[in-house]
A and B are shown apart, each in its own frame.
Chain A
Amino acid sequence: MIKEMLSHKVQQIAPSGIRRFFDIANQMENVISLGVGEPDFATPWHIRDEAIYALEKKRTTYTANRGLLELRQEISRYLDTRFSLQYNPETQILVTVGGSEAIDLALRAIINPGDEVIIPEPTYVSYLPSVVMAGGTPVPVPTYESREFRLTAEDLVPYINEKTKAVILCYPNNPTGAVMERHDLEKIAQVLRQHRILVISDEIYSELVYGVEHTSMAALPGMYDRTLVINGFSKAFAMTGWRLGYAAGPEELVGAMTKIHQYTIMSAPTISQYAAVEALRNGMPDVQRMVAEYDQRRRVLVHGFRQMGLSCFEPRGAFYVFPRISDLGMTSEEFCTKLLMEEHVAVVPGTAFGESGEGFVRCSYAYSLESLQEALRRIGRFVEKHSKEG
């Protein structure tokens, strides 16, 4: 009976077709995994320590709806120094429960029935369902390995129409590791400036770039007033479990999001907010240390896959590589299932991130070098075996 009583929107969200693969993978023991999208580092000790102090000082009540002013001021300063973005901490910044909440709030704040939201694919899995739950229509736009999975104006333009309300950009990208450099973003901005379309720019991986500089879409001429920047602490400071992110953007939009936020969440976790103040004040050396290590692992993985004869573009951000496995004559899901069964290595089928991920697998390097090397040995053996068959 309950099933019929569920909202049509929830019913409309199809369970992931590869759920079964995930279930098997997560139940299996002694697996070498490259399957997780969160840092392997623990949150730096001084940040954890600050949270313990906050508890000792009885910081156990709600904060302001928008978040601790002290934290919003630090966020404002950080966005200015790192990405040349100026936001008023009083009115333009909202502290949220992870970047995910900020995405959900943004979509709920802007979408009217029938509105379309453009989402470049392969894409992080939560954008499409979030658009659906907000009553909008997600419009996936494929991107291609040949362009290192960067979104181009040519890719984008055919999907824009009068119903288009927003574009969600996530660069550096999960799952591909792709980045959009300033000149790439500029071409997209040129298109968007001709329309009334908002950009929801999920920049959660902005600190994790290698050999390129992160540019925020909001920093481009004419884009500040139509861009919502979403960022957080999870990836840069290895703080996923603290559930803390933020949105920064035009006052009216952040205000509208705050309205929803105050009724659904009240305020983001207080202890986490105090820890985040410490992260922004004193945590940048930790970020640099982790980035240096990710960068080494990234090179090891890319090199390893290329040695096996797999095509693997060099990702410049996040902590994923996205090698092509289609030459082995298998689908992504077949590859991942067989690899799990035969070599006990878990990687994620590209199709988990949309149809345009077919032929690829996502491998995370949020793992120790030892694990990565062992995984490469096993995948290498697997690829060699199945190349002969093919």
Chain B
Amino acid sequence: MRQKILDILERDSRFSAAEIGIMLGIPEEEVQQEINRLEEEGVIVGYNTLINWEKTDRELVEAQIAVKVTPQRGHGFDQTARRIAEFPEVQAVFLFSGEFDLMVLVQGQTMQHIANFVAKKLAVMESVVSCTTYFVLKKYKQNGRLFEQPETDERPNILL
């Protein structure tokens, strides 16, 4: 049941406990209790809305910064990653295998804003060896959703 609830909420977190209960054939209270537990245990970390900012007036620039880091005795990459994650510009931090170590996703109002962040905050950190910045030009798909192809139903209204 846990897995099924998570599958539904991952797809669309707006479903209420009552609706999920109907979809799974489980009483609403049980679903609510399970969701509460999932939140308490930190399995469900939060609920966000996926926005295509390009369709709004808001100026927004996103970049992925590939960061090479000197691992630290006793902490590995964790301490540096946590410090980077504290900056409000940073949307996501992942540890990667391969050419670089940390992938940092940042958002800013302008390219200049992001350039400043890299130059003044990220690159100067002691354990950071190098930064390569990749600006996002266009989003095709995110969180499993296509951005630019509205799903249209080509089927007729009635078909036996």
Q: A37-B160, A125-B160 are in contact. Are A296 and B155 (CB under 8 A)?
A: no
- Residue of B22, B23, B159 near A38 (CB, 8 A) is B159
Q: A36-B155, A38-B155, A296-B8 are in contact. Are A348 and B160 (CB under 8 A)?
A: yes
Q: Tell me the A26-55 residues at the B interface (CB within 8 Å).
A: 26, 28, 31, 33, 35-38, 40
> How far is A348 from B156 in the complex, measured between Cα atoms in Å?
13
Contact yes or no, B8 A35, CB < 8 A: no
> How far is A353 from B158 in the complex, measured between Cα atoms in Å?
13
Contact yes or no, B23 A300, CB < 8 A: yes
Q: Which residues of chain A are near B19, meaning CB under 8 Å?
A: 300
Contact yes or no, A299 B22, CB < 8 A: yes
Chain A contact residues (Cβ within 8 angstroms of B): what range?
Answer: 20 to 34
Contact yes or no, A35 B23, CB < 8 A: no
Q: Which residues of chain A are near B24, meaning CB under 8 Å?
A: 296, 299
B48 at interface (Cβ–Cβ under 8 A)? no
Q: Which residues of chain A are near B4, meaning CB under 8 Å?
A: 292
A303 at interface (Cβ–Cβ under 8 A)? yes
- Residue of B8, B23, B157 near A36 (CB, 8 A) is B157
What per-residue 1/0 map shows which CB atoms of B11-51 lie under 8 Å from chain A?
00000000100111100000000000000000000000000
Q: Which residues of chain B are near A22, meaning CB under 8 Å?
A: 158
B153 at interface (Cβ–Cβ under 8 A)? yes
Q: Which residues of chain A are near B25, meaning CB under 8 Å?
A: 299
- Residue of B7, B23, B153, B158 near A40 (CB, 8 A) is B153
Contact yes or no, A31 B160, CB < 8 A: no
Closest to A366 in B: B155
What is the minimal beta-carbon distance from A304 to any residue of chain B, in angstroms? 8
Contact yes or no, A25 B157, CB < 8 A: yes
> How far is A353 from B23 in the complex, measured between Cα atoms in Å?
28
Q: A299-B25, A303-B22 are in contact. Are A28 and B157 (CB under 8 A)?
A: yes
> How far is A303 from B20 in the complex, measured between Cα atoms in Å?
12
A124 at interface (Cβ–Cβ under 8 A)? yes
A228 at interface (Cβ–Cβ under 8 A)? no
Q: Which residues of chain B are near A367, meaning CB under 8 Å?
A: 153
What is the minimal beta-carbon distance from B18 to any residue of chain A, in angstroms? 10
Chain A residues close to B by CB (< 8 Å): 21-22, 25-26, 28, 31, 33, 35-38, 40, 124-125, 174-175, 292, 296-297, 299-300, 303, 346, 348, 352-353, 367, 369
* Further contacts, 16 of them, CB under 8 A, given A25-B157, A25-B158, A175-B160: A26-B157, A33-B158, A35-B158, A37-B159, A37-B160, A40-B153, A40-B155, A174-B160, A296-B23, A296-B24, A299-B24, A300-B19, A346-B158, A348-B158, A353-B160, A367-B153
